[in-house]
Amino acid sequence: MNRIDGKIAIVTGGSQGLGAAIARNFAEMGAKGIITLGRNEEKGKKVAAEISKDTDCDVEFVKTDLAVVSQCRQAVAHTKNKFGKVDILVNAAGLTDRGNIVETSEELFDRMININVKGPFFLTQEVVKIMIEQDIKGSIVNIGSQAALTGQPFLASYSLS
């Protein structure tokens, strides 16, 4: 089994589902610290506390709306201030709201692109700056969806993002 002993990770979507599972797995694989990001502060803090309690990993939730670039940048800066570095970024969060090609509003389209594309891009940008500055040979994982290849009528903007 691969280990990530001593590594510092940021995981988006950390309040539930895939993001929470990835954070737990990283903690069990020896990560020193994990910052999870998401919009639901109550759920995010609960999940982070449970993972910390069950493992010896320092897991903290930082409320972050990926649609707001300044919040993305602040989350990465917080991670660097707390742990001194970032070794791993996992972009696991994604908005999956429904909308077909005819009925999708501009507001939904913009929110979808901002959360699923723009936020992860600028998180990656900030993490890469740290990795370059500190000569870290880290990992950045962008989780996609089969919907990008096949699409579905009720997921028009999601499939695009």
For the annotated catalytic residues, the residue numbers are: 158
Please give the Cα distance from 121 to 47 (Å, whole number): 25
